[in-house]
Amino acid sequence: MIASIEKDHVRNTPIGSIRDPRGVRVIQKLLDAYAINIEHTSERRLLNGPDRTAGLEISTRTVYCCYGATFERVFHEIAHIVTAPPDLDYETVPEDFLLLQLERCWCRHLKVGDKLFRAVLKWQGGTTVPLISEEENAMLEEVADYERSYAWRQGFRRLRAIGLIDDSNRPTLRPAAWTDDVIKDLRMKIGEKRTEE
């Protein structure tokens, strides 16, 4: 069952801590478009750690969050579900492969507003980016001119290849159609050899 977030009932929803009406609208649009569930929980095992306010379960397409979960955190967990490749553990996929770029497209084209966009940028700044930077464990905020890097631009190419954005970088709001080329590229990036059957 996909959660519905009614504007008048925000306080009683799993994302009740998101007060910005634009944030609620964008989260609801993404949940509906990608058939993702959202559930409130206080069980830390579902939140992927003791200090986390949101987590996910790929197999059930569910985002779990507790009261206090912020827009950027829930937004990020939704992006993980949308960009999870078939037959690979999503945790092995570098976030700069295509997830960060998809979040940027969503922010720009779903009109999240400046405040929420800045919150997403701040969240992304603390993300390690092994494809964009040659420095081990470098975070996005530490990489100068990363938006001009080949690796950053490749993320948009991959998003277009699997149908998550169009040629103008607008989100299609359709599920990913993973191509063999993108899967092969991903396997090379994470150092995994494809086994031939």
Q: Which domain holds residue 19?
A: 7-83
Q: What is the pLDDT of residues 2-36, one digit of tens each?
A: 444 443 334 445 555 677 888 889 999 999 999 99
Kindly state whether residue 88 falls inside one of the protein's structural domains: no
Q: What is the pLDDT of residue 4?
A: 44
Report DSSP letters for 105-169, one per residue: HHHHHTT--HHHHHHHHHHHHTSB-TTT-SSTT-BGGGSTTGGGSHHHHHHHHHHHHTTSB-TTS
Q: What is the pLDDT of residues 174-196, one digit of tens each?
A: 999 999 999 999 988 887 433 33
Kindly state whether residue 91 falls inside one of the protein's structural domains: no
| pLDDT exceeds 90 at position 165 | yes
Q: What is the pLDDT of residue 1?
A: 35
The pLDDT mean for the chain works out to: 84
Helix axes 99-109, 71-83, angle to 10 degrees: 120
Lookup result for tokens 């800045």: 118
The pLDDT confidence band at residue 151, using thresholds 50, 70 and 90, is very high
Q: Do 69 and 107 fall into the same domain?
A: no
Q: Do 73 and 104 fall into the same domain?
A: no
Mean pLDDT of 166-172: 97
Q: What is the pLDDT of residue 16?
A: 52
Quote the CA–CA distance of 144 and 5 in Å, as a whole number: 39
Q: Do 127 and 180 fall into the same domain?
A: yes
Kindly state whether residue 66 falls inside one of the protein's structural domains: yes
